Amino acid sequence: MDQGILMVGADNRVLVHNQKARDLLGVSEGLLHEGARFDLLQQHQIDRGEFRKVNGELRHLLESAALGTAAVTYERERPNGTSIEVRSVPLPTGGLVRTFTDITERRRREAALRLAEAEYQTLFQNAVVGVYRANLDGTLVRANQALAKLHGYGDSACATAPGTGFTHDWYVDGDRTHAFMRLLLTHGRVDDFVSEVTGHATGRPIWVSETAWLVRDAEGCPSCFEGTVVDATERKRAEAQIEHMARHDALTGLPNRRQFQERLTQELVHAQRQGTAVAVLCCDLDRFKTVNDTFGHPAGDALLCTLADRMRRSLQPGDIVARLGGDEFAIILLGRSHPHGVGAAAQRLIEVVGEPVDIDGHLTNVGVSIGVAIGLDDGDRADLLFKNADIALYRAKEAGRHTCRFYEAGMDMAVASRNLLEIDLKDTVRNGGFALHYQPIIDLASDTVRGFEALLRWPHAAKGMISPADFIPLAEETGLIVELGAWALRDACQEAASWPSDLRVGVNVSAVQIQHIDFHQHVLDALVRSGLAPERLELEITESVLVKDAERVIACLHRLRRIGVRLAIDDFGTGYSSLSYLCQFPFDKIKIDRSFIQDACASTSGAIVRAVVGLGKHLGATITAEGVETQAQLDWVRREGCSEVQGFIFGKPMPPSVIKGMMRPVGVGHDQQPERTHCPVSCERRSLLDA
Ligand code: C2E
Ligand code: CA
Ligand code: CA
């Protein structure tokens, strides 16, 4: 038997017992045997302290042997820790039958369960996310404190109380509840279901993100569901803000280029369907740059806001004004196909923009030039229509500012090819389409790659690859170099950040760019965004930079140098007054123009290179020889004491993917960054040349 049994006769002697009874009571056969006296057995147990773990009245009854033959059932813990259940039944003839059951394991399991339940309760109640269990009809069975709080209730008991209306059915519209339940029942689970909840105690709607799963009964039928809920109000707000920022100009709050393009595309589709027209106006402020330079940036910003506001007001509701960047605006006029109406709107814009503006007590005024193209006649695609409006804008500017011109077929022919290139350039700067190629710079002392110079490339759809020598001057003249240069800085830093940490990147900076008020900020932005150490960025500046506006530029260079950015003087020897400026500013590097290197045999070149090397040593600057193409030139610049070389002998400028590919074979992939990059010239030269 699994139980211990003991039968005692009316004469107080043991009639029957089993081994299990002896085991469970912990007594020997000497004490418990057929015919043994039951009272002696009891006394023995009392004497050895068998009941000392029993509490209260029961212990008293057991220790005084007062239970007699009464019918009782009780549990007790033995000194050795086992728990037994004792059942005693009197016999009709006197005496009793007693059974003993070992319930140690059962009690242990129950205790563990209670502990687990308590632990689970703390977890459930203290969780910072809302947790619930709900019936399939949406009524909540249980909810924790966090969920109650999320919904504005003091505690979960009150939240789940009937009549509070606090059910799972919180959603604004039935459709969402329906969608939620359909997902839950089909997939058994719903993840990150975001919805607006109106059942908030305060009446204020909130957004929540919910993850829920179906609970099934033993037969596998859905019985209820459980879930976690977090407040998503902040996240929704941030998302809305990011969405807004992505589609609006931060300064004026007007739609930005992206939104403008989207709207124009939509409106053209609409116009096609309805047989209506869409007019696009490209607007460029005249004299804005002067005002900006004279009164400073904040004044320029305020002016842009004022003008943006005036333009918006002068148009009809539904028309769209967007700021494309800088002082460029674009407008979509809806449903006005007649040139007369569009012309009148443009004239009104010219008038309102031209009215004087008060800047810090100075009355000033700027004007606006406008180019108009009307879809679908002048273009049925957004990009084409916009481009034609831009061509018309050029004509307006040519005609003397503050005017408006309509696009006419053939106008693009009439616009000089230089202007067409300018329009293309502007378009590419705006929409992307430039690339940077990288040319290795070799350190002659260690014969290793020291870094790369980033060089702009413009792959043009019709004209093929346009050389920087052809478009940089145009970009400088039009001021586009500021935006283009900022892009090159960002892109080069981003690229270099993925290289081994001992490689530098050289970025060319134009004189126009460096004189711009934002230049310093552009460099910082590029460093911060990419995470590139400032010491790894080398700005290449030509001497001409130091001629105009020298003091302001030198101050800016000092500021950059203080944060660790390195500065190189480029094309050295081709400018003027070089030597005096070299002494004014401590450059980290001097790059000798390739005309001197390629002219190596000429005695004057030899003398100049020797002088520059001497000067560089004196100033503590690195000397780089540019344009080294032959072994003879390499031997010569080495002999003359140049520290670095750059030239076709080691490699032409290459796309980033190619130079990355070259870093890998010598174990310098950026996933395994060694202390130094060993790209021995001897073995590397081949692959560079092959590439
Ligand atoms: P740079 O700064 O003097 O750049 C070196 C030029 O020499 C590059 O021409 C390069 O391809 C070329 N070169 C390098 N090694 C050799 C050689 O061994 N032999 C010969 N014949 N040429 C060699 P690239 O790429 O056509 O650039 C021309 C110029 O355009 C640059 O001259 C620089 O002044 C300007 N540039 C390029 N990228 C940028 C940029 O991002 N910003 C600015 N502002 N200017 C840039
Ligand atoms: Ca350069
Ligand atoms: Ca150069």
Tell me the pLDDT tens digit for each residue of 500-517: 999 999 999 998 899 888
Q: Give residue 392 CA to ligand 3 midpoint distance, Å.
A: 38
**What does the alpha-carbon distance between residue 617 and residue 612 come to, in Å, rounded to a whole number?**
8
CA of 647 to the centre of ligand 3 (A): 10
For ligand 1, mutation pick of 434, 456, 545, 624 (most atoms within 8 Å of CB): 456
Task: Tell me, in angstroms, the distance from the centre of ligand 2 to residue 399's CA.
Answer: 38
Rounded CA separation 100/6 (Å)? 8
Judge if the beta carbon of residue 488 lies within 6 A of ligand 1: yes
Whether 152 and 102 map to the same domain: the answer is: no
Tell me, letter by letter, the H, E, C secondary structure of 246-283.
Answer: HHECCCCCCECHHHHHHHHHHHHHHHHHHCCCEEEEEE
Q: Which residues have a Cβ under 8 Å from the Cβ of 188 and sit 6 or more positions away? A: 213, 214
H or E segment to which residue 210 belongs: strand 206-216
Q: What is the pLDDT of residues 147-159, one digit of tens each?
A: 888 888 776 665 5
Specify if 115 maps to a domain.
no
The answer to the question of residue 247 being in a domain is no
User: Rounded distance, CA 593 to CA 524, Å?
Assistant: 28
Last residue of some domain: 236, 269, 290?
236
Asked if the structure places residue 419 within a domain, the reply is no
Q: Do 98 and 192 lie in a common domain?
A: no
Report CA-CA distances (Å) from 478 to 303, 422, 512. Answer: 21, 8, 10
- Extract long-range pairs of 136-143: CB within 8 Å, 24+ residues apart: 136/222, 136/223, 136/224, 136/225, 138/167, 138/168, 138/169, 138/177, 139/167, 139/168, 140/166, 140/167, 140/168, 141/224
Residues 663 and 582 in one domain: yes
Closest ligand 1 atom to residue 628 Cα is: 18
pLDDT at 241: 85
Q: How far is the CA of 644 from the centre of ligand 2 (A)?
A: 14
Residues of the chain with pLDDT under 50: 171-172, 577, 665-691
Distance from C-alpha of 399 to C-alpha of 576, rounded to nearest angstrom: 38
Do 308 and 202 reside in the same domain of the chain? no
Q: What is the C-alpha to C-alpha distance for residues 540 and 566, in angstroms, rounded to an integer?
A: 9
Q: Which residues have C-beta under 5 Å from ligand 3, the single-atom ion?
A: 570-571, 626
58, 76, 108 - which closes a domain: 108
Same domain, 384 and 521: no
Find, among 496, 507, 501, 522, the residue nearest to 454 by Cα.
507
228 with 268, same domain: the answer is no
Q: Which residue has the tokens 């124009």?
A: 264
Atom of ligand 1 nearest to the CA of 510: 44
Mutate to test the pocket of ligand 1, among 508, 637, 650 (most ligand atoms within 8 A of CB): 508
Q: Which atom of ligand 1 is nearest to the CA of 488?
A: 41
CB of 455 shorter than 6 A to ligand 1? yes
Pocket-testing residue among 434, 452, 457, 472, ligand 1, by greatest number of atoms within 8 A of Cβ: 472
Is residue 401 domain-shared with residue 338, that is, in the same domain? yes
| Secondary structure (3-state) at 312 | helix
Extended strands (E) in 401-536: 404-406, 435-443, 448-460, 464-466, 504-509
Q: CA–CA separation, 475 vs 426, rounded Å?
A: 9
- Tokens coding 195: 């919805």
CATH number of the domain encompassing residue 49: 3.30.450.20
Alpha helices in 531-667 (DSSP H): 550-562, 578-584, 594-598, 603-619, 631-640, 656-663
Q: How far apart are CA 286 and CA 303, in angstroms?
A: 13
> Which helix (H) or strand (E) covers residue 53, if one does?
none
> From its phi and psi, is residue 253 left (phi > 0), alpha (psi between -120 and 50) or beta?
left
Q: Distance (Å, rounded) from C-alpha 417 to C-alpha 391?
A: 12
* Residues 659, 634 share a domain: yes
Q: What are phi and psi of 527, to 5 degrees?
A: -70, -45
On whether residue 70 sits in a domain, the answer given is: yes
Q: Is the CB of 582 under 6 A from ligand 1?
A: no
Both 210 and 290 in a single domain?
Answer: no
Six-digit token pair at 213? Answer: 């799963």
Instruction: Identify the DSSP state of 29.
Output: T
Question: Residue 299 — left, alpha, or beta (φ > 0 → left; ψ -120 to 50 → alpha)?
Answer: alpha
Domain identity same for 81 and 212: no
Nearest CA, atom 3, ligand 1: 571
For residue 624, the model assigns a pLDDT of 96
Nearest to 290 by CA among 362, 389, 392, 391: 362
Q: Does residue 309's CB lie within 6 angstroms of at least one atom of ligand 1?
A: no
Q: Which ligand is nearest to the CA of 593?
A: 3
Q: Are 282 and 330 in contact (CB under 8 A)?
A: yes
Q: Using CA positions, which residue lies closest to atom 34 of ligand 1?
A: 508
Same domain, residue pair 548 and 662: yes
CA distances from 374 to 273, 424, 425 (A): 16, 21, 23
Q: How many domains does the chain have?
A: 4
**Beta-carbon neighbours within 5 Å of ion ligand 2:** 508, 540, 570
Tell me the Ramachandran region of residue 479: left when phi exceeds 0, alpha when psi lies from -120 to 50, beta otherwise: left
Q: Is residue 117 part of a domain?
A: no
Does 439 sit in the ligand 1 pocket, CB within 6 Å? yes
Half-sphere exposure of 600 (CA within 13 A, CB side): 18
Q: Return the beta strands (E) in 260-400 as ranges.
A: 278-286, 320-325, 328-334, 357-359, 362-364, 367-375
Token pair, residue 337, equals 């196909």
Q: Whose CA is nearest to atom 42 of ligand 1?
A: 508
Neighbouring C-beta atoms of residue 288, cutoff 10 Å: 19
Whose alpha carbon is nearest atom 21 of ligand 1? 627
Distance between CA 332 and CA 263 in Å, rounded?
9
* Structure-token pair, residue 523: 């460099």
C-alpha 376 to ligand 3 mean position (Å)? 48
The residue nearest atom 8 of ligand 1, judged by CA position, is 455
pLDDT of residue 203: 76
Q: Which atom of ligand 1 lies nearest, measured to the CA of 646?
A: 15
Nearest ligand for residue 571 CA: 3
What is the CA(594)–ligand 1 centre distance, in A? 10
Closest ligand 1 atom, CA of 648?
18
16 found inside a domain: yes
What tokens were used for 597?
């290197």
Residue 553 domain flag: yes
Asked whether 510 lines ligand 1 (CB < 6 A), one says yes
- As a whole number of angstroms, the distance between CA 496 and CA 660 comes to 10
Span from the CA of 626 to the centroid of ligand 3 (angstroms): 6
Residues ≥6 apart with Cβ < 8 Å to 66: 60
Q: Is the CB of 487 under 6 A from ligand 1?
A: no
The DSSP code for 643 is S
| 425, 455, 594, 599, best to mutate for ligand 1 pocket (most atoms within 8 Å of CB) | 455
**How far is 125 from 131, CA to CA, in rounded Å?**
8
CATH code for the domain in which residue 502 is found: 3.20.20.450
Which DSSP symbol is given to 571? E
Residue 245 counted as domain residue: no
CA distances for 107 relative to 81, 84, 433, angstroms: 11, 10, 76
Ligand 1 site, residue 542, Cβ cutoff 6 A = no
Range of the domain at 11: 4-108
Nearest to 166 by CA among 152, 187, 146: 152
Q: Give me the phi and psi of 277, to 5 degrees please.
A: -125, 160
Contacts of 114 (CB under 8 A, 6+ apart): none
Give pLDDT, residue 91. Answer: 93
The two three-digit tokens of residue 92, written as one number:
């009709």
Structure tokens at 418: 């230089």
Clarify whether residues 258 and 295 are in a common domain.
Answer: yes
